[in-house]
Amino acid sequence: MVIAIVWMLFYLIRTSRHQDAILCKDTHAGPIWLRGGLVLFAVLTLVMDVFKTGYYSSFSQCLHPIKITYPVVQGIFVVVQTYFLWVSAKDCVHVHLDVTRCGLMVTLTTNLAVWMSAVTDESVHKAQSKNPNGTHRMFEIRSSNAESCSCDGKLCHVFYDGYFWMYPFNIEYSLFASAMVYVMWKNVGRLIDHHENPMYHLRFKLFKKTFFVGALMGLLVLVTGIGVLIVYEIQVNKNSPAARKEQALMMYYIFNIVCLGLTSLASIGGSIVYRFDKRDMDRHKNPTRTLDVALLMGAALGQYAISYYSIVAIVASMSRDTISALNLTYSLLMIAQHTFQNIFIIEGLHREPPGKESKIDPQQKDVYGLTFVNMNAVSLRAPDSGSALPAATPPTLAIQAPPEVIQSIRVSKKVNWRRTFLKEVSSFLLMCNVILWIIPAFGARPQFDNERELKFYGYPMWAAIVDICLPFGIFYRMHAVASLLEVYIMS
């Protein structure tokens, strides 16, 4: 992190101020909603660093100084990197090429290392919370005076619980920053045609031409999901009776089955509408879009793996109870929902922006708007013999359009209807993906509370599968939110 901080300061002070440093900017890179999300996650990561510093300070006599230094350095790293990405995410650098590429790659790998460290700490914390004998005395073995290294104070417990609640935001911050740094690395030395700048004209059209039906339905799902998470966290703990735990699991699976079913249907409907969309496919070189698609497809593999192993465990163990049936349905729908949603998002990301629709007829490629002249249907009508025209009055042209041309005049209304529908679908999917991110990111782990997979695979193997694959599934949801917001605006 220190090396990355030094390089980012060098870039901001020297490289970006060079006379010929930034010849062009990539308008697709670092859109305002992505940078805004990065700032939000950065602020919450700083809160986590404060909690972590306070917690480690309670054990200052038991710990190596690096434990307390780490969150302080991370806070500085987050501040510098957030400012760096806010002002430089769109840059296409043309000076200090080798140094810039090296510095960006160091920053990228640093973010990935921080992400892996956070995922590991969060997984260890979850494992300890599921352990009936787990306590907060994490550092007793590091000191001969065990009592002085125990977390017995109320403030210490607040710091301990607080910084683990902030871990999901730190994890997402590292991944968001990694994606933005990678796009900057791809843009080093790149030249861009300035005539292609569609995203610049779309930034301020966020809430136009929509009835908010999708947003309201999504908000209803979001509020319901938060309630489900609260009840789940209360009822599913190490001291809960088996009956209450089973009821909470049933509630969790039913909510997710309904949510996944609705989002799957919405994705299918949006993909069908895209089949009738008149806009051409945007095939221009775009590192941001290429990375978005790769991350969607790659991150989905994590949830695919968990669902696959759950299906194998349920089918092979021949379980016939209600929880197993709900778990099987949930796993199958999870695979289907990821697939259909990826198709919808990729279709949306590859469409031309509004105003670049395909023409109605391939033979009329130069005709735009609502006025059509079919040269084969134009007839010249002479004025009536009894009427007198001024000498300067030209003959009258009567355009007799066939039915298909008249029908084409209504295209704009159909296009507006399709765009409205796509906006509603995108907003609904966006809100649903938010709650599908919140539930696993903030503690719901039915993979461990439901003992079917644990009994089939054993704790070490199943814990390894979940701890490796689930972070990718959580990241998929947040990345899908960013992509759906872009699809919404592009619609």
40-84 pLDDT, tens digit per residue, is 999 999 999 998 888 888 777 777 788 888 999 999 999 999 999
pLDDT of residue 90: 87
pLDDT band of 17, cuts 50, 70, 90: confident
Indicate if the pLDDT at residue 167 is higher than 90: no
pLDDT at 465 over 80: yes
Q: Is the pLDDT of residue 132 over 90?
A: no
- Predicted pLDDT at 233: 85
Q: Which amino acid is at 223?
A: V
Do the beta carbons of residue 349 and residue 289 sit within 8 Å?
yes
Distance of CA 125 to the CA centre of its chain: 25
Average pLDDT over residues 302-315: 93
**DSSP for residue 91:** E
Mean pLDDT of 148-163: 74
pLDDT at residue 8 tops 80:
yes
H/E stretch holding 381 reads strand 378-381
> Are 31 and 486 contacting, i.e. CB atoms less than 8 angstroms apart?
yes
Q: Return the closest-CA partner of residue 438 out of 209, 229, 281, 205.
A: 229
pLDDT at 152: 67
Lowest-confidence range among 117-126, 257-266, 297-306, 352-361? 352-361
In this prediction, residue 209 carries a pLDDT of 59
pLDDT for position 402: 54
72-76, 262-266, 392-396, 437-441: least confidently modelled range = 392-396
**Per-residue pLDDT tens digits for 316-372:** 988 788 888 999 999 999 999 999 999 999 888 877 666 554 444 444 434 333 334
Residue 298 has pLDDT above 80, yes or no: yes
Q: State how far the Cα of 460 lies from the Cα of 463, in Å rounded to an integer.
A: 5
Confidence label for 478 from pLDDT (cuts 50, 70 and 90): confident
Confidence of residue 95 (pLDDT cuts 50, 70, 90): confident
Q: Which residue has the higher pLDDT, 208 or 225?
A: 225
Looking at residue 190, what is its pLDDT? 77
Residue 266 clears pLDDT 90, i.e. is over it: yes
pLDDT at residue number 283: 66
CA distance 180 to 84: 11
Least confident of 29-33, 97-101, 390-394, 420-424: 390-394
Return the residue matching tokens 């769109």.
90
Q: Are 125 and 165 in contact (CB under 8 A)?
A: no
Mean pLDDT of the 117-144 span = 60
Average pLDDT for 450-459: 86
| Contact partners, residue 424, CB within 8 Å, separation at least 6 | 210, 211, 213, 214, 215
Residue 379: strand, helix, or coil: strand
pLDDT of residue 46: 94
Res 491: pLDDT: 76
Query: Is the pLDDT reported for residue 268 higher than 90?
Result: yes
Question: pTM of the prediction?
Answer: 0.73
Rounded Cα gap, residues 174 and 218, in angstroms: 27
Mean residue pLDDT of the chain comes to: 79
- Give the pLDDT score at 66: 86
- The per-residue pLDDT for 389 is 47
Across residues 235-259, what is the average pLDDT? 85
Residue 332 pLDDT: 95
Do residues 3 and 78 touch, judged by C-beta distance below 8 A?
no
Average pLDDT estimate for 265-288: 79
| pLDDT computed for residue 189 by the predictor | 81
